Structure 1
Amino acid sequence: MRKLFIFLGVIMSGSVSAEFYKVEVTRIDNNLYRTSDKVYIETKFCYEYANREDAVLSYEQYSYDNKLIFDNGNVCEVTKVFK
């Protein structure tokens, strides 16, 4: 039993967390946003109309849990970030 707890502790301590970025985004097309730094954020099923709106980008490369979180609380799934 003790070995199981040690094993779980090692696994949980090795978890990777996403990076958070404060961004100002503008919607330029369906599921496509551009930041003030000219970085593009592609989303999936995102219907948030933004024009220079503050948001937080939760992003980790190769993750399936990337999100764009708007100030009003709406959250959109992020599929790609590129320049």
Structure 2
Amino acid sequence: MNTFHPQYLNDSQGNTISVVIPLAEYEQIVKQLDELEGIRLHVNTHTGKRPSIPLDEFVRQRMAFSKPIPPAHNGEPIGSPLL
């Protein structure tokens, strides 16, 4: 179990408006969130559940990581540029 040491900041009416935590605690939270996201993606992949995203976002992501497709012997590309 993690122990955090938050400090609460209040406005002039006494309403809590912000929380301040030490940088090391923040980095620990970010690391754990990243690990949880990886676990979630792993579980979703193995259970057949995949998060849905809009088609244009999918295409943008795929194009950012795709390599050019070499032409086949007849000059036609092999496969899909999105896969």
Please say which structure displays the higher CA radius of gyration.
2
Q: TM range, normalised to the smaller chain? A: under 0.3
The structure with higher relative contact order (CA 8 Å, sep 6+) is 1
How does the TM-score come out when normalised to structure 2?
0.20
| TM-score for the superposition, normalised by structure 1 | 0.20
| Higher strand fraction (1 or 2) | 1
Task: Point out the structure with the larger helix share.
Answer: 2
